A and B are shown apart, each in its own frame.
Chain A
Amino acid sequence: MSLSDKEKNTVKDFFAKVVSRSDDIGNESLTRLLVVYPQTKSYFAHWKETTPYSAPVKKHGITVMGGVYEAVSKIDDLKAGLLTLSELHAFMLRVDPVNFKLFNNCLLVVLSMLFPDDFTPQVHVAVDKFMALLSLALAEKYR
């Protein structure tokens, strides 16, 4: 399920439109991941706290969204573009890839919540596909 040129433009346009709220999006998405899927907290035992909107969550949300935006800029070749990030996740972080789907779910809910008029079904399908491909590229080096 690859992205058509139209979908790539839809993704780029949408993310460019919401870039000013990128920090909020990250904060909300990560907070929801930890609340809605509590098992994901297992990856953050080394944090001082995992409470909603707390400092570590906010900071990490920014990091994660940085990765998402990097992927947007490399949308024409995610596998090559996210090689370093994939190695990081495969060999160092070792996040079970099933969690990428859980994060994607939270991201979509947050985008819908914050941008109800812009997150149309057409934008939804393009972003959903993009996040799925991003997740695949991220898992590329796992085995």
Chain B
Amino acid sequence: MVDWTDFERSTILDIFSKMDYDTVGPKSLARCLVVYPWTQRYFGNFGNLYNAAAIMGNPMVAAHGKVVLHGLDRALKNMDDIRGTYAELSVLHSEKLHVDPDNFRLLADCLTIVVAAQMGAAFTADVQAAFQKFLAVVVSSLGRQYH
């Protein structure tokens, strides 16, 4: 069980309520595939990932970026039990998708950087701390069911 201060709770919900999922999702996943190229191992059937331009323009990457970002919706609706909420997704990523859980952290880092670019000065140190705490909980929960 994670303790959220009122500031953290409202900050996190506020960020996501204003977020442009159709931009942030694709940008985050694309950035992850460019900055950490070994993450491309999970997207063998996504077509052209040969260089940064190809990745950033790839429609399958964009579509999947939106899917992944919307995956956070469940955590936002259940902030007091993110671990339980993601148990099933964790099993899926482990047993079916075989994703190394460290990748969740890499994607979370890229998402943070994209959101920082979008929010500019509004992404204050306190807001950054709250956002990173939320993502850390999500990342931990997604890796929880691996064995």
Contact = CB atoms under 8 A, between A and B. Distances in A.
A36 B117 contact: no
B97 interface: no
A124 interface: yes
Interface size class of B (residues with CB under 8 A): 20 to 34
A113 B120 contact: yes
Contacts of B116: 109-110, 112-113
B118 interface: yes
Interface of B is mostly: helix
Interface in A47-65: 52
A32 B55 CA distance: 31
A123 to B, nearest CB: 10
Given A105-B109, A108-B113, A113-B117, A121 B35 contact: yes
A122 interface: yes
A35 B123 CA distance: 13
Interface of A: 28, 31-32, 35-36, 52, 105, 108-110, 112-113, 116, 119-122, 124-125, 128
Interface of B: 30-31, 34-35, 52, 55-56, 109, 112-114, 116-121, 123, 125-126, 128-129, 132
